[in-house]
Amino acid sequence: MKKLINKLEIILGFKINNTDLYLKAITHKSLDKINNYEKLEFLGDRVLGLCISKKLFEIFPNEKEGILDKKLASLVNKNKCYEVGRYLKLDKIVKIGNLRLNRLVIEKKIVSDSCEALIGAIYLDKGFDYVEKFILKNWNKHINDKNIIIIDAKTKLQEYSLKKFKILPIYKFISDTGPKHKPNFKVAVKLKDTEFVEAEGLSKKLAQQAAATQLLKIIDKLK
């Protein structure tokens, strides 16, 4: 374990105080059902969101709330956490049990979740100021990227559902009406704890995006 902690300290660039926190942050539940990264991931996700929100608020003081929300979603998601996790070489040190995974190609979600758990561990071990510096250092190039890819509503809803319920949203096709030159598609979408929400669009994909947008608005109001 000491060798692993030393490797983590080299990757992170600082001395670790509470080694147990960091060992949990890189341990998947398939290896240890109790001492794993799930709770730290929950905490790290919130800390990451707060730090990135604070930074966006500072560098875009005149931006509208809706645009800031889209920028936040483009920076705090599984793909970005996976990129940072790979940069930190977490894919090489995450500890997993008997999963049907190639050790050289560890599932993206595990690396992403471990990255958020690591943020939670740093926060508990070093405090907010320290973890904020760590986050901004590793997200800086993404924050300053002028070509930020805005996450669409369907993707955002999918990530929310996977994080909260570990399952995908359920989409249901309802109808296809109107003339061929101007069709009108109606679909509905629901999560594990919601009713179906309907929306329409000129294509099935557009209708799904509209339905996802409506459901996200409902979720935001309930927060």
- Known active-site residue 45: yes
Yes or no: say if 174 and 186 are a contact pair by the CB < 8 Å rule.
yes
- Known active-site residue 200: no
Choose among 202, 174, 179: nearest CA to 189: 174
Yes or no: say if 8 and 75 are a contact pair by the CB < 8 Å rule.
no
Task: Please state, in angstroms and rounded to a whole number, the distance separating the CA atoms of residues 196 and 190.
Answer: 5
First to last CA, the chain: 40
Which of 113, 116, 125, 132 is the catalytic position? Answer: 116
Which of 41, 45, 91, 113 is the catalytic position? Answer: 45
Kind plus residue range of the DSSP H or E element containing 187: strand 184-190
Active-site residue set:
45, 116
